[in-house]
Structure 1
Amino acid sequence: MGIIGWILIGLIMGALAKSALNRKGGTWLGSLLLGVVGALVGGFLGSVAFNRGIDGFWSPWTWLLAFVGSVIVLAVWSAISGRSKA
């Protein structure tokens, strides 16, 4: 998967993770970075837990792992930075 694919998935999954955890504020760049890091974390956890990582751009498994990873990264980032839900 190319860098454009990673950026696109990162942007979408970062925004969805913010919506899922009901977080407000931040920038699109922050969502992008959160999503890309989340996709990497999700791919790593998927390869460790299920012996299956990030496949291709159109794979549902890729999108699921990227979303779960983004939610995890956002929750950890919010806990570390001390941000509230508002």
Structure 2
Amino acid sequence: MNLFALLRLALRGFVRHRMRALLTTLGIIIGVGAFITMVAIGRGANARVSEQIASMGANMLVILPGSIQQGGARGGAGTSATLTDDDVD
């Protein structure tokens, strides 16, 4: 089949099945729009976090008291020391 015959066949399918063609087109438009929106939200969030980290400065260090559990309930339970006011100096 040549290109003209394929285009004519496709157009005939669109005309005969208008609702199916409309719903398919609508689904593609919604899917592409949702994908573009999610990528934009992700990039915006990434830029916002990067901006906030950069605004802290190069000499910022955040220390949180407590322990991080690894390996279940018994792995290192009770072995971490908490921070005191003397640790600041």
Q: Same fold (TM over 0.5)?
A: no
Q: Which has the larger radius of gyration?
A: 2
Structure with more of its chain in helix, by fraction: 1
Q: Which has the higher contact order (CA 8 A, sep 6+)?
A: 1
TM-score, normalised relative to structure 1: 0.29
TM-score, normalised relative to structure 2: 0.28
